[in-house]
Amino acid sequence: MNTKTLILFDVDGTLTESRKVIKQNMVDTLKKLKTIDNIDIGIVGGSNLKKQKEQLTEEHLKLFKYVFSENGLVAFKNDELFHKMSIVKHVGDENLKKLINTSLRYMSTLDIPVKRGTFVEFRNGMVNLCPVGRSCTQEERDEFFEFDNKNKVREKMVEYLSEELKDLGLSFSIGGQISIDVFPKGWDKTYCLQFVSDDYDRILFFGDRTIKGGNDYEIFNHELTYGYAVNSPEVTIKLLQEKFGL
């Protein structure tokens, strides 16, 4: 009997370079993967659907049976929305105000190379915090990422907020190059597994932020998944070629 397999992919740093558009070699690899019997593919990312469409394009997003936006809090199967959860209803406006005010005060004290606009981005299932500002250019994004790797800006911010807001029941997770995702505990990427665990014999996950504190850590280490750590789309392609003979 053939094993029914679901392969879930992170987006940034796994299928694409951070915030960039998917390349043709990855598209070709995914198309080959889909021809194998008893294999379905999906994505699970912290970004909303709009950003996922920008990176994967609307056309190539249709390659995936499952599209889990915002860690699966907004979930699609075969291009149809089947689940949506709101952080406002779960956490409440008073706690959200406390989170945003505390985060803005902390970010106002940071001495980093540049600061631009949109330091807090409200999404359906989470709040995204960005010390450099999401309106930064790609060059400024790369500059901050290098600075952050050396100075642990986001890591220190997560430690501070986790302690300062420990009574709110929130998780703080470093994702991509420039930001931190904030969501209720249990609303990490493992949230999506409830929708697929009964339908597959095994679930594989490919992601780049798999160390503790990264937004792939929980699903990478979950008992229901077989995790593969990557650090670029090229490594993802190489592992898929080796494992599936593509």
On the 0-12 / 13-18 / 19+ scale of CB atoms within 10 A, 114 is middle
Catalytic residue among 12, 40, 188, 208: 12
Residues paired with residue 66 on neighbouring β-strands, in sequence order: 42, 77
Backbone angles phi, psi at 163, to 5 degrees: -80, -45
Examine the residue annotation and report whether 10 is marked as an active-site residue of this protein.
yes
Catalytic residue among 10, 181, 208, 216: 10
Q: State the residue for tokens 């709009």.
A: 50
Examine the residue annotation and report whether 93 is marked as an active-site residue of this protein.
no
Within 10 A of 228 (CB to CB), how many other CB atoms are there?
19
d(CA 74, CA 84): 5
Report whether 219 contacts 10 (CB < 8 A).
no
Report whether 245 contacts 36 (CB < 8 A).
no
| Residues assigned a catalytic role | 10, 12
